């Protein structure tokens, strides 16, 4: 049974060797600060949402079109000649902003949009918004909408897309350090939130430096863990775990989560901030691989920024989904979408537990 859980421009990662802003700090994996950095995280995560809004108004004339043609997702895609993944992210963002509403599967502009985003309203803001349409990121955003393919990381012409860029040593190290600085806040809260008594071995799939499994093992020391990562990130994980003095409890397994079978012998699988980088078919593949290799009675944990079941919020997650859509092959998934995929895979006792900063952990159990 699934239970709901909600109430109520990119900087260059290629730094000079003398710049230590991305060197690993020794995290405190037990405590959390007295202050809440959620708004700071949101500022970073929402960076592309305005560009998507500008592209939708200036290039697609979306709101005026919907006013005359209420449509479902498929018709929006076919009529405006955009792809389903970015269209889904766009419509979710605008539902979260109260700019469109969904009735019986069709999308309509709200009264706010009719006043300010639909022609020929006397208060139409289209020309004002469109004055920024030549921003390079707006042009890249339109390309992502039309092709469904992610832009180069940070919309830089000399960068590879994210999944390929992660095969470069320097980029992988800088990116992993960036994610660790966020994980230093998120990981201890995850570890405090979920009770893993009765389990013994955790596989941290695509776990980067292992910061989340490190926090969990630090706070629940009856557990041991292994981080599954491919080169060059596996080397980063080994070094990070050694610096945390946790190599006696956490190992590293080199492997590709798509090309290789998951190792056996684990009763916990963790996907922390992983599935949002991939489209639905890839997510289903990873869930199926997890179910195949997880011990009977084992538990899967999906720690991520999840949309609510109605996909009309929380707004910070809808904004973050734009960044993921723009820069990776994925997006943020709703708790209902994830619960449905887990159920189809065979997992039972599906639950969702809020953590912090609009994140949550969705769990499921392999009964046999």
C-alpha dihedral, 27 to 29 to 31 to 33, nearest 10°? 40
**Based on C-alpha coordinates, what's the Rg of the chain?**
21
* Distance of alpha carbon 311 from alpha carbon 128, whole angstroms: 29
The CATH 1.10.10.10 domain(s) of the chain lie at 45-162
In sequence order, the 6+-apart residues with CB closer than 8 A to the CB of 43 are: none
**Where residue 9 falls among pLDDT bands split at 50, 70, 90?**
very low
In sequence order, the 6+-apart residues with CB closer than 8 A to the CB of 303 are: 186, 190, 212, 270, 271, 272, 273, 355, 359, 360, 361
In the predicted structure, residue 23 carries a pLDDT above the cut 90? no
pLDDT, tens only, 286-295: 999 999 999 9
pLDDT, tens only, 163-209: 778 888 888 898 999 999 999 999 999 999 999 999 999 999 999 99
- Strand 299-304 to 360-365 pairing: antiparallel
From the number of C-beta atoms within 10 Å of its C-beta (0-12, 13-18, 19+), residue 261 rates as: exposed
In the predicted structure, residue 5 carries a pLDDT above the cut 90? no
* pLDDT of amino acid 153: 65
pTM (2 d.p.): 0.91
Contact 320, 96 (CB under 8 A): no
* Distance of alpha carbon 132 from alpha carbon 119, whole angstroms: 19
* Distance of alpha carbon 263 from alpha carbon 255, whole angstroms: 9
Question: Quick one: what percent of the chain has pLDDT higher than 90?
Answer: 86
* pLDDT of amino acid 167: 83
In the predicted structure, residue 7 carries a pLDDT above the cut 60? no
* pLDDT of amino acid 360: 99
Q: Look up residue 63 and give its two tokens.
A: 């709101």
* pLDDT of amino acid 6: 45
* pLDDT of amino acid 11: 35
The highest-level CATH class for domain 169-365 is alpha beta
For residues 30-58, average pLDDT: 97
* pLDDT of amino acid 26: 63
* Distance of alpha carbon 227 from alpha carbon 250, whole angstroms: 7
Contact 330, 280 (CB under 8 A): no
The CATH 3.40.50.150 domain(s) of the chain lie at 169-365
pLDDT, tens only, 263-277: 999 999 999 999 999
Nearest Cα residue to 124 out of 71, 53, 64: 64
**Structurally, what CATH architecture does the domain formed by 45-162 represent?**
Orthogonal Bundle (1.10)
């Amino acid at each position: 049974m699934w239970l709901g859980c909600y109430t109520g421009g990119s900087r260059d990662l290629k730094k000079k060797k003398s710049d230590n802003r991305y060197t690993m700090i020794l995290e405190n994996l037990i405590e959390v600060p007295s202050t809440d950095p959620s708004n700071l995280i949101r500022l970073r995560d929402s960076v592309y949402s305005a560009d998507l809004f500008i592209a939708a108004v200036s290039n697609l004339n979306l709101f005026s079109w919907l006013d005359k043609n209420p449509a479902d997702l498929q018709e929006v895609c076919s009529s405006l000649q955009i792809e389903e993944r970015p269209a889904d992210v766009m419509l979710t963002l605008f539902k979260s902003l109260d700019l469109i509403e969904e009735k019986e599967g069709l999308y309509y502009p709200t009264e706010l949009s009719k006043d300010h985003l639909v022609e020929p309203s006397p208060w139409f803001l289209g020309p004002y918004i469109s004055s920024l349409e030549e921003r390079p990121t707006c042009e890249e955003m339109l390309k992502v909408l039309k092709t469904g393919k992610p832009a180069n990381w940070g919309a830089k012409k000399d960068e590879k897309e994210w999944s390929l860029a992660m095969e470069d040593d320097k980029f992988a190290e800088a990116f992993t350090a960036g994610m660790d600085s966020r994980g230093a806040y998120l990981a201890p809260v995850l570890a405090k939130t979920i009770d893993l008594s009765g389990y013994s071995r955790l596989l941290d799939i695509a776990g980067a430096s292992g910061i989340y499994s490190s926090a969990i093992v630090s706070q629940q020391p009856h557990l041991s863990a292994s981080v599954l990562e491919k080169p060059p990130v596996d080397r980063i994980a080994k070094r990070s775990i050694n610096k945390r003095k946790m190599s006696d409890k956490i190992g590293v397994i080199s492997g590709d989560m798509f090309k290789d079978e998951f190792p056996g012998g684990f009763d916990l699988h963790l996907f922390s901030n992983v599935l949002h980088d991939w489209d639905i078919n890839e997510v289903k593949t990873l869930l199926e691989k997890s179910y195949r290799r997880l011990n009977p009675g084992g538990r899967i944990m999906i720690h991520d920024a999840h949309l609510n079941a109605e996909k009309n919020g929380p707004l910070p997650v809808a904004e973050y989904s734009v960044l993921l859509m723009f820069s990776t092959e994925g997006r943020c998934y709703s708790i209902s979408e994830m619960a449905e995929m887990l159920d189809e895979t065979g997992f039972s006792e599906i639950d969702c537990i809020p953590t912090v900063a609009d994140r949550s952990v969705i769990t499921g159990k392999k009964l046999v």
